[in-house]
Chains A and B, each alone.
Chain A
Amino acid sequence: MSRSHSHTFAVTVTAITQVTPLIKHFVLKASDGSQLPAFSGGSHVIVVMKGASRVHRNPYSLLSSPSDLSSYEIAVRRADPTRGGSVFMHDHVTVGMQLEIAHPVNLFQLDKLARKHVLFAGGVGITAIAAQLEDLKMGSVHYELHYSVRGPEHAAFADRLVKRHGDRVRIYHDSADQRIDIEGLVAAQPLGTHVYVCGPTPMIDRVIASARAAGWANSHIHWEQFSAPPVGEPFDVFLQRSNITLSVPPDQSLLEAIEDAGIDAPYLCRGGVCGECKCRVLEVDGVLVHNDNYLSSEEKASGALIMPCVSRAQGKKLVIDL
């Protein structure tokens, strides 16, 4: 596989399907025809999209089987309010187009010591879970998925999952008022069970709260909650070590603005989860708007750190150690 620059390689879009009113499904193959890099269930890739005026780099979970490396599959939910990458994927990416992607990264991996795996997914959150199910299908440990969707027209992935995993998958339709009994399910699990959740924030919060209420150790509770960088107010930032001032427009993240200026900043998930881009705040005239799930509430309150991939500032001036 050829590498176009240090961290990415070229893939070609070979199929696009509108699977629900809001979600498009993409099949990607290595542009040079070789096998794609192996990965583990729960991994995501950063897709680099070269738009007309700006480069977008968005994380998308790999939902295809880790044992089939002839192609990768991702699903993209059109973000609302519209911002950057997902709109580009929906409106500008066509079959035959080339994209750059980085090697897979797994920040949501299955625990290999679990006696049982219980997975919860809501909406497009299923994309982070789908490949985990494939890994689990190859193993010998019991697993079950509880998957909530708005209604039948949003359930394209559900049919596919039921076909692959049979009665290990249970689908709940919001439109038919079917609700997952998260508290009841969690409380009934045998010792040694691990729980995984990816979906809307309230669902994640409920699963975590239920498991903690049932006395589970944090090591047995897993979730993935990528934040898309939200739109915010424009602000200026001074990069102390680079000695440069940048303007961050409303619909661009701090990290993207830094990259646009040609400065190589560290990152891994681009979703406020992994901590790789964590940066020291040297001065702020205004308030920091923390949108990440990495910093502790004490760290956020201290005002000394920021995650440039999703967080921003509101005010006159921000100075960071970069």
Chain B
Amino acid sequence: MSAVFKTDETFRGDFKYSNSPAAIRRFPLPFVEDKYMYSVNIEPHEAGPKGSIMEFQFDVDEHYIGECRDREIVLKEDPLRYQALPHMMSAQWDVLELLMDSMSRDYPGQFSLSKHGNRWTWHNKLLGIKDEFTFGDPSTLPREPLDYITRQAQGDFVVMDQRDGDLYLEAGMVTTPADWSMDFDLGMTFKEWHGPVPLAHELNVFDRALKFLLNLRLNEPVRRLNWTMTVNPRLDTSPEFYPRWGSDRATVTPDNVADKAHVRVELQGLWRLPRSNAVLFGVRCYLISIRELATIPKWARRTHRALRDLHPALVDYKGLTRYRDHVVNWLAPLDDGSPTTPGNSPE
């Protein structure tokens, strides 16, 4: 995507954030049919259509600069949003290599990487960063490798070590969580850190997902979409700062709902890492206001139906209880009852 990179977006305070028409059209609507329920909706993370958010392994879009800036603000105030246990160093280098290789290959105008043996030079033109370092030697980078590279990437990153038939959350950069805390979950097994998710345990979703991920192969990453809603285009909806955003839910009214309520979609990717045999879990977050979403007639109808008929346990878990009705009521006049085409494309 030949995006124009915005330079003055904010995800807090004055919330200076919007999607261009092109960004709206490539938004990954999570409702692939008129109703929504969990499924093990995992598919190969292969190159999607040109310009789509799945064209490349790691999507870089018009919000890049603002998102990186917001991450710096979070980390300054709460440094524990980045953590890595000591035995995760080889996995840190794996992630750095994967991100640098992918971003420089897919966005050569914005990022470049040159390698002379283990001497690497990384140039991030969007953020004005240029560093030469020795791959494998943490003392040659200004920060730990995972910290360094994920400050220059959109989305959260979690690294899971594989041992004893399980995956342990033992490193990560999480500044845009949908109300979960990596600091709390650090060291947990796969099922432990997914403990709060309702219904899915009864459906054995995590048994199947874990079994699948334990055999995840190199060079065959997978992805899935997940979603929730957020009041205001706020990225950091963390339990650590709940007092700052929890009460936002009470500010939604029939008059402001279209601009305040946002659908938040997570493109979740999973990669086997080569040197550490760990698994990288990437959570790339997309925000769209109800007003922006409704510029696509099919999406207005689809979203109206999916939210109206959402399972009560999910309404509660996703934190929508207080304002779901406002959203549904605002979308209702845009739903003439006509059928929607299969899939989540704009038409």
Q: Chain A interface (Cβ within 8 Å of chain B)?
A: 7, 37-40, 43, 66, 103-106, 109, 111-113, 218-219, 268, 274-276
Which of A66, A104, A275 counts the most B-chain CB atoms under 10 A from its CB?
Answer: A104
A39 and B275: CB pair below 8 A?
A: yes
Tell me the complex Cα distance, A66–B87, Å: 18
Partner among A38, A105, A109, A111 whose Cβ is within 8 Å of the Cβ of B217? A105
B217 and A103: CB pair below 8 A?
A: yes
B218 and A37: CB pair below 8 A?
A: yes
Tell me the complex Cα distance, A218–B164, Å: 8
- The residues of B that contact A37 with a CB separation of less than 8 Å are 218-219, 274
| Interface residue B236 (Cβ < 8 Å from any Cβ of A) | no
| Interface residue B276 (Cβ < 8 Å from any Cβ of A) | yes
Q: Given A37-B218, A103-B218, A104-B218, check contact A112 B275 (CB 8 Å).
A: no
A276 and B215: CB pair below 8 A?
A: yes
Q: Given A113-B163, A219-B164, check contact A38 B274 (CB 8 Å).
A: yes
B87 and A113: CB pair below 8 A?
A: yes
Tell me the complex Cα distance, A112–B170, Å: 12
- The residues of A that contact B215 with a CB separation of less than 8 Å are 268, 274-276
Partner among A40, A111, A218, A219 whose Cβ is within 8 Å of the Cβ of B276? A40
Tell me the complex Cα distance, A39–B276, Å: 8
Name B96-130 residues within 8 Å CB distance of A. 97
- B47 CB to nearest A CB, Å: 13
20 contacts between A and B (CB under 8 A): A37-B274, A38-B94, A38-B275, A39-B274, A40-B90, A40-B274, A40-B276, A43-B277, A104-B274, A105-B217, A106-B277, A111-B163, A111-B164, A112-B163, A113-B163, A219-B163, A219-B164, A268-B217, A274-B215, A275-B211
- The residues of B that contact A7 with a CB separation of less than 8 Å are 220
- The residues of A that contact B211 with a CB separation of less than 8 Å are 275
Beyond A40-B275, A112-B87, list 14 extra A-B contacts (CB 8 Å): A37-B218, A37-B219, A37-B274, A39-B274, A40-B90, A66-B275, A103-B217, A103-B219, A106-B277, A112-B88, A112-B163, A112-B276, A268-B217, A274-B215
A40 and B219: CB pair below 8 A?
A: no
Which of A7, A38, A268 counts the most B-chain CB atoms under 10 A from its CB?
Answer: A38
Tell me the complex Cα distance, A275–B208, Å: 13
- The residues of B that contact A275 with a CB separation of less than 8 Å are 211, 215
Report, nearest first, the 3 A-B pairs whose CB atoms are least far apart. Answer: A38-B274, A112-B87, A103-B218
- The residues of A that contact B164 with a CB separation of less than 8 Å are 111, 218-219
- B69 CB to nearest A CB, Å: 32
| Interface residue B161 (Cβ < 8 Å from any Cβ of A) | yes
| Interface residue B83 (Cβ < 8 Å from any Cβ of A) | no
| Interface residue B162 (Cβ < 8 Å from any Cβ of A) | yes
Tell me the complex Cα distance, A62–B94, Å: 19
Tell me the complex Cα distance, A105–B211, Å: 15
- The residues of A that contact B220 with a CB separation of less than 8 Å are 7, 103
- A291 CB to nearest B CB, Å: 20
Tell me the complex Cα distance, A111–B164, Å: 9
- B118 CB to nearest A CB, Å: 10
Tell me the complex Cα distance, A113–B170, Å: 12
Which of B90, B161, B163 counts the most A-chain CB atoms under 10 A from its CB?
Answer: B163
- A128 CB to nearest B CB, Å: 14
Tell me the complex Cα distance, A274–B94, Å: 24
- B99 CB to nearest A CB, Å: 15
- A29 CB to nearest B CB, Å: 18
- A270 CB to nearest B CB, Å: 13
- The residues of A that contact B274 with a CB separation of less than 8 Å are 37-40, 104
- B298 CB to nearest A CB, Å: 33
- A39 CB to nearest B CB, Å: 6
- The residues of B that contact A111 with a CB separation of less than 8 Å are 163-164
- The residues of B that contact A112 with a CB separation of less than 8 Å are 87-88, 90, 161, 163, 276
